[in-house]
A and B are shown apart, each in its own frame.
Chain A
Amino acid sequence: MSAIIEPIGILGGLGLLFGIGLSMASQVFHVESDPKVDKIRAALPGVNCGACGYPGCEGLAVGIADGEASVTACSVGGSMVAERIASIMGVAAGEVEKQVAVVLCQGDCEHAEDRYIYHGIEDCRAEDALAGGSKACTYGCLGCGTCQDVCDFDAISIVDGIAIIDREKCTGCELCVAICPKKLIEMVPYEQDVIVKCKSEEAGRFVRRKCTVGCIGCSICVKNCPDDAFIFENLLARIDYDKCTNCGICVEKCPTKSIWSGIEEVEQIAQ
């Protein structure tokens, strides 16, 4: 029995001894810290995603308490957290417009052509390194799920070979934006219901060969927009979200249906 008891006794005894010593030392060498830091850390989501640019929520809490970071620095927490932190810091938070990440590609298996069959590491960055990936359109989503892996909030799913981000689950941490090798994921205001979901800057005839839902640069949307909200550059239409009123005219006019409409999606869910 002593073969078991002795080691346990010694290890436990030493542990206890060090524990007591350390707790006494922590009393002696106690450093007064800003009580705000603890309160702010409690208010933060605590996922340590690093989207704010600080090393974890602890780092941001110190940053906010020092006044380096704004009270709205936590994009993940949104306005709820910002308000709580603002009340701790004693300042007004102001309105934070919620931004969500959107994959700007609709070229799923049904609509987009492939150039070759990719057998390799299931990682978009690896596939992208192989002549820009298997998709005929070099701008399109490769659908390996690299963004899905990096998402801490389970908001991204791969459907029919492209990534789709759930607007409700997205917290706007921008981790997927950073990792996408195609630079396909962009931040869009949560309220925005009309988005050009294509990044192809190729001429229309090439786009048509590769994908049936790509932007062919016909600029019909630009001509029909009542709010002058379209920016047409490099044979690609883009919406200025500040000007857009979500009227949906462009969605109807677009010949290739490359303009995605959240209005329809909402109606479909309602039905």
Chain B
Amino acid sequence: MDIFTILISTMFVNNFVLARFLGICPFLGVSNKIETATGMSIAVTFVVTLSSIITYIIQVSILDTLGLEFLQTIVFILVIAALVQFVEMVMKKTSPTLYDALGVYLPLITTNCVVLGVAILNIQEGFNLIQTIFNSAGASIGFGIALVLISGLREQFELADIPEALEGFPITLITAGLMSIAFLGFSGLV
């Protein structure tokens, strides 16, 4: 598979949030404002890409050579957790505003299924290192697109006249469902 196909495929066709339904927690939790959603997307992109590279190297150089593939999940979690901790420290030092805005969702990236999902899928699909980098970057950009899109919509809800029973999460969930259906339109593209 060439790189362009991988990018389009993970960003739109197999969008991790809207087609694979991974990473729903930050999708609903951090999508109140476009600003924080953008910050979260950048943090996730960074963590996903970096963790995919490291997990790929560990998988190929250590786990595959020693025949310890069964350690995949726990080792990957270890890598992700350490990385998120690292990102948190860097962010606290360099951008306290973003650190405060992300709040509890930053540590939650640790247990975010998008990160682990991308890392494991990279191995399952049999990608090489270059493909892995683009696949994970594409996946997290796709995550970012979905997050920014829904946060833009949710900002509009503030002004819209929504029936009382649907205010807040109900309308967000309905919107998320509609967005997911819309993204089905991309299927067959690749």
Complex interface: stretch among B4-12, B18-26, B89-97, B154-162: B89-97
Query: B71, A7: Cβ atoms under 8 Å?
Result: yes
Cross-chain contact of A29 among B63, B74, B79, B90 (Cβ < 8 A): B90
What are the nearest 7 A-B pairs in CB distance? Answer: A18-B82, A29-B93, A29-B89, A31-B92, A25-B89, A22-B85, A25-B86
Asked if A129 is an interface residue, CB under 8 A from chain B, the answer is no
Q: B78: which of A6, A14, A29 is its contact (CB, 8 Å)?
A: A14
Within 8 Å by CB of A15, from B58, B78, B96, lies B78
How many residues of B are in contact with the other chain, CB < 8 A? Answer: 19
Does A11 sit at the interface, judged by CB under 8 A?
A: yes
Q: How far is the CA of A121 from the CA of B89 in the complex (A)?
A: 46
B28 within 8 Å of A (CB atoms): no
Q: Is B75 an interface residue (CB 8 A)?
A: yes
Q: Answer whether residue B130 sits at the interface, using C-beta atoms and an 8 A cutoff.
A: no
A-B contact count (CB 8 A): 41
A23 to chain B, nearest CB (A): 10
Pairwise interchain contact B86-A22, C-beta atoms closer than 8 A? yes
Query: Known contacts A18-B78, A29-B92: does B66 contact A10 (CB below 8 Å)?
Result: yes
**Which DSSP category, helix, strand, loop or mixed, fits chain B's interface?**
helix
In the complex, which residues of chain B have a beta carbon less than 8 angstroms from the beta carbon of A15? Answer: 78
B71 near A11 (CB under 8 angstroms)?
yes
Please, how many angstroms separate the alpha-carbon atoms of A199 and B90 in the complex? 56
Say what secondary structure dominates the interface of chain A: helix
Contact assessment for B71 and A10 in the assembled complex, using a CB-CB cutoff below 8 Å: yes
Choose from A10, A26, A31 the contact partner of B68 (Cβ within 8 Å).
Answer: A10
Residues A11-49 near B (CB distance < 8 A)? 11, 14-15, 18, 21-22, 25-26, 29-31
* Contact residues in B for A21 (Cβ distance below 8 Å): 82, 86
Q: With A10-B71, A14-B79, A29-B89 given, can you name 18 additional A-B contacts, CB distance below 8 Å?
A: A6-B66, A10-B63, A10-B68, A11-B74, A11-B75, A11-B78, A14-B58, A14-B78, A15-B78, A18-B78, A21-B86, A22-B86, A25-B89, A25-B90, A29-B92, A31-B92, A31-B93, A31-B96
For residue B82, which residues in chain A have a CB less than 8 angstroms away from its CB?
18, 21-22
Interface residues of B in 39-74 (CB under 8 A from A): 58, 62-63, 66, 68, 70-71, 74
Number of A residues near B (Cβ < 8 Å) is: 14
Bound-state CA distance A25–B86 (Å) is 7
| Assembled-state Cα–Cα distance A21/B96 (Å) | 22
Return the CB mask of B96-131 against A: 1 if under 8 Å, else 0. 100000000000000000000000000000000000
Please, what's the 1-or-0 string for A197-220, where 1 marks a CB less than 8 Å from any CB in chain B? 000000000000000000000000
Contact residues in B for A10 (Cβ distance below 8 Å) = 62-63, 66, 68, 71, 75
**How many whole Å from B74's CB to the nearest CB in chain A?**
7
CA distance A21 to B85 in the complex (A): 11
Distance of A167 from chain B, by nearest CB (Å): 36
In the bound complex, how far is the Cα of B63 from the Cα of A40, in angstroms? 47
**How far is B83's CA from A25's CA once the two chains are assembled, in angstroms?**
11
Q: Quick one: CB contact mask for B131-168 with A, threshold 8 Å, 1 for yes?
A: 00000000000000000000000000000000000000
Q: How far is the CA of A15 from the CA of B90 in the complex (A)?
A: 20
Are B68 and A6 in touch, CB under 8 angstroms? yes
Q: Which residues of A contact B93 (CB under 8 A)?
A: 29-31
What CA separation (Å) do A22 and B80 show in the bound complex? Answer: 12
A22 partner residues in chain B, CB cutoff 8 A:
82, 85-86, 89
Closest to B86 in A: A25
- Which residues of B sit under 8 angstroms from A31, Cβ to Cβ? 92-93, 96
Q: Complex formed: what's the CA distance from A11 to B90 in Å?
A: 25
- In this complex, which of B66, B89, B93 has the most chain A Cβ atoms within 10 angstroms of its Cβ? B89
Query: Could you tell me the distance in whole angstroms from the C-beta of B88 to the nearest C-beta in chain A?
Result: 9
- The residues of B that contact A26 with a CB separation of less than 8 Å are 89
Residues of A within 8 A of B90 (CB): 25, 29
